[in-house]
Structure 1
């Protein structure tokens, strides 16, 4: 099975046992963990690269999260399902799990949830499993139709010893293939389609709208066979995966009879089918969490808090339930494979067409969306068309489908009304760096030098606990942004609080790579809400709230009343640091086109 959207491969990478702790002298924290075997037991295998298979995850000593309980709920129904998730979220592994199940060999699932399910019968069914990224997209539509037809013929011969006619009509061959398999085995056919939208996204990468339309027509006809053969009673089960829902919606009624697992009313439990839940990580990776917490010289609570900030927050059921949030499975496996908490998904697996899409968007739209000030209202679907996906008006939907945006609900959920936010810090760092690249389109060498010098002064300001100097440098950075990025249509983004959020966030995210003694965390969830960000110097934790032309005392009261300073790390590794509430006020003189920054500080813990 070949796919670019894999959680792992059949070739696992086995690392040596965990390295020794940094110091031979046992700290109280290390003694606390001496009861675990994390420092002495062999390190498990973590499968992270391409070419996934169910069997690869079942090898001895390999980390595996059991999703077969949810798989059982799917396969017990004779119907069809549609699943869209970003790259590397385990769609293809689950597809191969379903493929293995329909072979009817119960022993392959020994020890898993589905094994002892009394409702499951282990009858075998013929399977047609196609990965749509196997066919390279040529420059002409007719050539693609012929190549797709060739793949169908080869698949029929290889997997079911069926010879199809030599035709370049992929739709007719696919229809004949399903019918011939049904007649050969006298059983309903299981049809699995992986990466159904891969050919279309390839056209987006190459910026070829004419070819995109043509390939879309071929695929719409090709996939219509799924519905027509199911209507004739020849299909037992259908399962289609891809990155976007937009492609399906753009094909009209072709795939609309497939049930989306994101229908939270019908399938509430399927929110976690792709991705890992907090409980799954704490249970299935318990020994790995203990081992790496020791290496990082943190308690398990502190260490998991960092994992949560970096990799959690994905939610495709559009609900306020924490139980529906999932972690990026690829990122989790990378953490324990490399023994390092670092961004490892968004940088590598964002499609190139999405980066082009960002360049086409207005900075005002991006700034407001990413700062959590734009409401998400209305039901998913019908917002945009894949064939017009580079239209900036599609920005919210495209970001949500690609895992760059979450929809949060504050308090009681009302319909689908929520706030757009980043899912986590990993995504925020990548997206805001792309935004910063646009903000820093300054060709003159002298201006680039000013950016560099300003960054250095920010570093020194944080090291010396000089918050006023740091805010002055932020103001200077804003002054250097070319006017062209401030938006058009009579709207100046400098009059919106979200603009200042984005600039400060982005500026701080450019610093960690060169600072060892300063930490930064954004959108910290505390007792009764989320603070803007927290900066830790060697001696101090700054709990910071940004406001645009609002009283400083209002921001200070908000920090105290909502308990923005109450979260585990301030009682853990930062417990001895003093805590300062920092209110930052941005003001913009519309006549002089000048931004000023003021601030006030209140000590919360000495």
Structure 2
């Protein structure tokens, strides 16, 4: 008889449901136990779809005294008392894309629900006064201190971080709502908040200065997400099933999972962290899909990239001190903090002598998904048509047929609507960067050599392409520059044949005008 199919908690963020229905659960309860003893007010920042809500729900079950849900987990051997506390759990993810009126209405709804639970009259009034009354009432009626859990505290504000006026209005509402958390300290057992942006960044906890921020604390590096060790131990059978389905070895499965979904670090040193949402979807579907981006690319990110004038090739490859990528949103002078907290770049290394972190795009899924989101700003065409072009282009490049690839691109660009900014060379450079990134190959722009900078370098498994781009000139002039500055010399030791690619773009036709190719087999 065939074994029962493993149940993966895709989109399920309620701890009790996962445990009662025997869904896969990666045991994080030792972190939960630890974080409830060393501080009373705790804050955790992680990107979306990283398990913040499930962690908050786990805390809810723990403080509700649900010992039955923790059988077989680390918490079962750690906790001895199992006291039931009154829990006020506010999920602010319901407050996305709201204006002032809708946000106030949602807070009223949340408070009214708890007021009825504790036998209070539901009356309109200031949210902070109602929350204060609610905390005191819960304490008096139960004789136990109150636990307050606030999940995604910054959700109402993320979509308006680029709108100064709306941000101020909504921020004041939220600051007012959260303000009792300090005044009610004598009645509180524990306060936990999650979000994407750091609490200091939206200036809504100015009064609550006693929060312990564990977001970059090494002991909690793996509190959200799935480590490779957890996957190899708690998901070993899942990997074997996926390998059998795809007819590849478990080792190959691990390499593909690692390339697509691994690579996150929220402190240094840190184990490699896999995106849990993407990883579980890959096991459930039996394929390596793009899941994190499929769940929605935040509009605020695209708008902020535009606001700061960040080119696609500039998203990764950054070096920064911690205060640079942890700066307040209102005062940040670059988009780096938002990219880091949103999960589009992550920590890749640390120079302890200089105190500098290396930040880069975590993995293939994020790189490809981000580039797909940015491509419409460079190529105005229906998504299906673009995807088809990229697929055929990928085959051309895999076959080392750059001539066919450029001919395909020439035809494609000629048939799409006119794009803005096509009269400067950088537009085409960034367009190439995006398109080649979608192929999953290594691509870089403005690569330094002893005699200058190469416009685009593309490396496949079999070939390295050195590209010089010109606008309204000739391919001959582009090739002449490659030869004059001897760009290929920089890559003589790469172990691959080098192809010189000279391209001229025609700004009137908004496409490739002509090109020349020349292969160097021997040095």
Using the size of structure 1 for normalisation, the TM-score is 0.70
**Within 2, Cα distance between the matches of 1:303 and 1:403?**
23
User: What's the counterpart of residue 3 of structure 1?
Assistant: none
The within-5 A match list for 1:401-480 is 401-409=341-349, 412-414=351-353, 416-441=355-380, 458=393, 461-462=396-397, 464-467=399-402, 469-470=404-405
Task: Report SS of the residue matched to 1:375.
Answer: strand
Task: Report SS of the residue matched to 2:114.
Answer: helix
The within-5 A match list for 1:302-317 is 302-317=252-267
Confirm or deny that 1:129 pairs with 2:89. Answer: yes
Aligned counterpart for 2:35 among listed residues 74, 95, 115:
74
**Within 2, Cα distance between the matches of 1:596 and 1:360?**
34
**Within 2, Cα distance between the matches of 1:67 and 1:486?**
53
Report if the CA contact (8 A) 1:584-1:600 is conserved.
yes
Confirm or deny that 1:193 pairs with 2:137. Answer: no
Per the alignment, do residues 584 and 284 of structure 1 end up closer, same or farther by CA in structure 2, a change over 3 Å counting?
farther
Report if the CA contact (8 A) 1:190-1:237 is conserved.
yes
Confirm or deny that 1:292 pairs with 2:292. Answer: no
**Within 2, Cα distance between the matches of 1:79 and 1:239?**
8
Task: Report SS of the residue matched to 1:324.
Answer: coil
Report if the CA contact (8 A) 1:220-1:254 is conserved.
no
User: What's the counterpart of residue 253 of structure 1?
Assistant: 206
**Within 2, Cα distance between the matches of 1:80 and 1:439?**
46
Confirm or deny that 1:163 pairs with 2:123. Answer: no
Shift of residue 427, structure 1, vs aligned partner? 1.1
Confirm or deny that 1:398 pairs with 2:338. Answer: yes
Confirm or deny that 1:182 pairs with 2:142. Answer: no
User: What's the counterpart of residue 222 of structure 1?
Assistant: 177
Task: Report SS of the residue matched to 1:63.
Answer: coil
Shift of residue 166, structure 1, vs aligned partner? 1.9
**Within 1, Cα distance between the matches of 2:258 and 2:208?**
35
User: What's the counterpart of residue 577 of structure 1?
Assistant: none
**Within 1, Cα distance between the matches of 2:215 and 2:199?**
14
User: What's the counterpart of residue 345 of structure 1?
Assistant: 292
Per the alignment, do residues 324 and 49 of structure 1 end up closer, same or farther by CA in structure 2, a change over 3 Å counting?
same
User: What's the counterpart of residue 46 of structure 1?
Assistant: 8
Report if the CA contact (8 A) 1:125-1:190 is conserved.
yes
The within-5 A match list for 1:105-120 is 105-117=66-78
Task: Report SS of the residue matched to 1:72.
Answer: helix
Shift of residue 272, structure 1, vs aligned partner? 0.9
User: What's the counterpart of residue 556 of structure 1?
Assistant: 492
Task: Report SS of the residue matched to 1:83.
Answer: strand
Confirm or deny that 1:268 pairs with 2:221. Answer: no
User: What's the counterpart of residue 506 of structure 1?
Assistant: 434
Using the size of structure 2 for normalisation, the TM-score is 0.80
Report if the CA contact (8 A) 1:153-1:173 is conserved.
no
**Within 2, Cα distance between the matches of 1:183 and 1:597?**
81
Shift of residue 251, structure 1, vs aligned partner? 2.3
Per the alignment, do residues 505 and 136 of structure 1 end up closer, same or farther by CA in structure 2, a change over 3 Å counting?
closer
User: What's the counterpart of residue 37 of structure 1?
Assistant: none
Task: Report SS of the residue matched to 2:44.
Answer: strand
Per the alignment, do residues 156 and 483 of structure 1 end up closer, same or farther by CA in structure 2, a change over 3 Å counting?
closer
Gaps of 5+ in 2: 445-456, 469-484, 506-511
Shift of residue 402, structure 1, vs aligned partner? 1.1
Per the alignment, do residues 146 and 45 of structure 1 end up closer, same or farther by CA in structure 2, a change over 3 Å counting?
closer
The within-5 A match list for 1:325-340 is 325-340=272-287
Shift of residue 149, structure 1, vs aligned partner? 3.7
Shift of residue 281, structure 1, vs aligned partner? 1.2
**Within 1, Cα distance between the matches of 2:43 and 2:14?**
20
Task: Report SS of the residue matched to 1:484.
Answer: coil
Gaps of 5+ in 1: 1-16, 18-39, 512-519, 525-531, 536-540, 561-579
Report if the CA contact (8 A) 2:436-2:443 is conserved.
no
Q: How many residues in Structure 1 have an aligned counterpart in Structure 2?
A: 486
Report if the CA contact (8 A) 1:369-1:420 is conserved.
no
**Within 1, Cα distance between the matches of 2:62 and 2:44?**
18
**Within 1, Cα distance between the matches of 2:19 and 2:458?**
41
Report if the CA contact (8 A) 2:131-2:177 is conserved.
yes
Report if the CA contact (8 A) 1:135-1:151 is conserved.
no
Per the alignment, do residues 385 and 361 of structure 1 end up closer, same or farther by CA in structure 2, a change over 3 Å counting?
closer
Tell which deviates more after alignment, 147-156 or 244-253: 244-253
Task: Report SS of the residue matched to 1:108.
Answer: helix
Shift of residue 413, structure 1, vs aligned partner? 4.2
**Within 1, Cα distance between the matches of 2:388 and 2:85?**
66
Shift of residue 86, structure 1, vs aligned partner? 2.2
**Within 2, Cα distance between the matches of 1:430 and 1:348?**
11
